[in-house]
């Protein structure tokens, strides 16, 4: 299947992945998990929503927990360069038949919300309230010391079309997994805006659903420490996969599930991709190092379970990729 070409003059400027908005059933249980076990910092807390951020983030929040009857991924947020980019995005969506609306969101002001052609609920903003960085407030560190939100990974039923859509918006391909043979189809793609391996990964599967969101941590030892923390604080069963090292992205990782089943990755040790002529790396679906450089396959839940988006029907994928699944 075709690999998208880099677009250096997109219709508007998306800077990076910014924040996830999750609907959760038990707000206090979710907050306890993210604040005390994982180690995010609570910036604002109310009866219906809690806002958290990582230690180096100056923005007000990178995770919003909303009390709701069902656990869903409410929206995924991206930062754009200027207020003018929001207007450019609205013009682009109008031209291409994508429904959108401008709303005022707490702490981030004018926000453009839209559902893309594949059912992913996205919001864009230019300016969020600032907060003092906590990077050197080591007295406040908990859990695995998460520093910043790094990326989102989604299940897409139409993976090639979804990749092509976001490539048109300026997301640049860094790595991809493809079937072997002349008619091989792309089964997953890693795309970035900020100059590392990815801001947005698109994986073939029942979609639209959020597969996971990820926070960057300083070292692999922080991830190992989180395993100890979770094992000794009642969250042992919430560890789903890892620790290990991906072949794709070269990242050291751990996947955990929050009290509502949303999947979080703790992530470190990826690499720079900012050069304009960076060449995407191809992985065969048959290469066992793709999932984990050490060869251990992922569990079945990792391929089948994800967080739906509200009011979006989940569709079967256009094809079923032949992947190795742990027994």
Shared-domain flag, residues 291 and 152? yes
| Structural domain contains residue 317 | no
Tokens describing residue 110: 């004018």
| Structural domain contains residue 272 | yes
Q: Cα separations (Å) of 123 from 127, 208, 212?
A: 13, 16, 17
Number of domains composing the chain? 2
CATH number at residue 102: 3.10.180.10
Shared-domain flag, residues 213 and 184? yes
Shared-domain flag, residues 116 and 191? no
Shared-domain flag, residues 69 and 205? no
What is d(CA 225, CA 219) in angstroms, rounded to the nearest whole number? 10
| Structural domain contains residue 301 | yes
Other CB atoms within a 10 A radius of the CB of residue 175 amount to: 23
Shared-domain flag, residues 48 and 122? yes
How does pLDDT run along the chain (327 residues), one tens digit per residue?
A: 689 999 999 999 999 999 999 999 999 999 999 999 999 999 999 999 999 999 999 999 999 999 999 999 999 999 999 999 999 999 999 999 999 999 999 999 999 999 999 999 999 999 999 999 899 999 999 999 999 999 999 999 999 999 999 999 999 999 999 999 888 899 999 999 999 999 999 999 999 999 999 999 999 999 999 999 999 999 999 999 999 999 999 999 999 999 999 999 999 999 999 999 999 999 998 888 888 898 888 899 999 999 999 999 999 999 888 777 766
Contact 10, 170 (CB under 8 A): yes
The predicted pLDDT at position 1 comes to 61
C-alpha torsion 229→234→238→244, nearest 10: 30
What is d(CA 74, CA 213) in angstroms, rounded to the nearest whole number? 13
Shared-domain flag, residues 21 and 110? yes
Shared-domain flag, residues 119 and 222? no
Q: What is the 3-state secondary structure (H, E, C) of the chain?
A: CCCCCCCCCCCCCEEEEEEEEEEECCHHHHHHHHHHHHCCEEEEECCCEEEEECCCCCECCCEEEEECCCCEEEEEEEEECCHHHHHHHHHHHHHCCCCEEEEEECCCEEEEEEECCCCCEEEEECCCCECCCCCCCHHHCCCCCCCEEEEEEEEECCHHHHHHHHHHCCCEEEEEEECCCCCCCEEEEEEECCCCCCCEEEEECCECEEEEEEEECCCHHHHHHHHHHHHHCCCHHHEEEEEEECCHHHCEEEEEECCCCCEEEEEECCCCCCCCCCCCEEEECCCCCCCCCCCCCCCHHHHHCCEECCCCCCECCCCCCCCCCCC
Shared-domain flag, residues 100 and 168? no
The predicted pLDDT at position 327 comes to 60
Tokens describing residue 273: 């991709």
In tens, the pLDDT along 224-262 reads 999 999 999 999 999 999 999 999 999 999 999 999 999
The predicted pLDDT at position 81 comes to 98
| Structural domain contains residue 93 | yes
Shared-domain flag, residues 163 and 106? no
pTM above 0.95, yes or no: yes
Shared-domain flag, residues 91 and 219? no
| Structural domain contains residue 324 | no
Range of the structural domain that residue 173 is part of? 145-308
| Structural domain contains residue 70 | yes
What is d(CA 76, CA 84) in angstroms, rounded to the nearest whole number? 20
| Structural domain contains residue 8 | no
Shared-domain flag, residues 253 and 287? yes
| Structural domain contains residue 50 | yes
């Amino acid at each position: 299947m075709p690999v998208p070409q880099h677009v250096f003059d997109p219709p508007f400027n998306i800077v990076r992945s910014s924040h996830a908005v999750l609907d959760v059933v038990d707000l206090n249980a979710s907050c306890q998990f993210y604040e005390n076990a994982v180690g995010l910092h609570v910036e604002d807390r109310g009866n219906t929503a809690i806002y958290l951020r990582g230690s180096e983030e100056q923005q007000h929040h990178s995770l919003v927990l909303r009390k709701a009857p069902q656990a869903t991924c409410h929206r995924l947020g991206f930062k754009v360069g200027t207020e003018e980019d929001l207007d450019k995005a609205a013009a682009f969506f109008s031209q291409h038949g994508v429904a959108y609306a401008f709303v005022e969101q707490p702490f981030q002001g004018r926000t453009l919300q839209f559902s893309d052609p594949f059912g992913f609920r996205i919001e864009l903003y230019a300016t969020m309230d600032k907060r003092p960085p906590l990077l050197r407030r080591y007295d406040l560190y908990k859990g695995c010391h998460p520093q910043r939100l790094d990326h989102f990974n989604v299940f897409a039923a139409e993976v090639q079309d979804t990749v092509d859509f976001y490539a048109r918006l300026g997301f640049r391909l860094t790595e991809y997994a493809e079937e072997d043979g002349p008619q091989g189809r792309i089964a997953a793609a890693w795309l970035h805006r900020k100059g590392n391996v990815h801001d947005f990964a698109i994986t073939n599967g029942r979609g639209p659903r959020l597969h996971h969101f990820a926070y960057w941590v300083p070292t692999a030892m922080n991830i190992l420490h989180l395993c100890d923390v979770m094992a000794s604080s009642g969250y042992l069963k919430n560890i789903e996969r890892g620790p290990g090292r991906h072949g794709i992205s070269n990242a050291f990782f751990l996947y955990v599930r929050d009290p509502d089943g949303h999947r979080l990755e703790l992530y470190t040790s990826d690499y720079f991709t900012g050069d304009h002529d960076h060449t995407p790396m191809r992985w065969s679906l048959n290469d066992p190092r793709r999932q984990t450089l050490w060869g251990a396959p992922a569990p079945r839940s990792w391929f089948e379970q994800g967080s739906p988006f509200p009011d979006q029907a989940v569709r079967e994928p256009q094809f079923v990729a032949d992947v190795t699944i742990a027994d």
